[in-house]
Amino acid sequence: MPNPPPGAIAVIFLSGRSAADPQGYGQAAEAMADAAARMPGYLGIDSARDADGVGITISWWQDETAAIAWRDDPDHARIRDQGRAIWYDWYRVIVATVDRAYGWTRPTDG
């Protein structure tokens, strides 16, 4: 994801996966990423998970209204309930506003 603009909203989802139903989890995660990408105000997603099942996913939104619309989306709510029942041992959500963002990329030898 390119650098988010100032004022963008970062929804930071930290989680610990259970060992249950890895195939169902993978399908649900892919469906949620696709659904989020269709929401107005969606800017992108960054995600990583370690071998112990601890993960971090940051979804980026144009503004608070867009982030709340995603939180309240009925399909997202249904999958969130399944996550609590099956796929996660714990999670935390942190919502933050971007003040500034920057990055660096190694140049390719050409």
- Among 100, 88, 96, 97, which Cα is nearest to 14's? 88
The widest CA-to-CA distance across the chain, in whole angstroms, is: 51
For the segment 42-47, the average pLDDT, to the nearest whole number, is: 96
Structure confidence at residue 46 (pLDDT): 96
Domain spans of the chain, in order of start: 9-97
8 is written with which tokens? 């963008």
What pLDDT digit, counting tens, does each position of 19-32 carry?
999 999 999 999 99
Residue 110 has pLDDT above 70, yes or no: no
CATH code 3.40.50.1970 for 9-97: no
**How far is CA 46 from each of CA 10, 49, 51, 91, rounded to the nearest angstrom?**
10, 11, 17, 17
CA triple 82-44-57, angle to 5 deg:
45
Structure confidence at residue 89 (pLDDT): 97
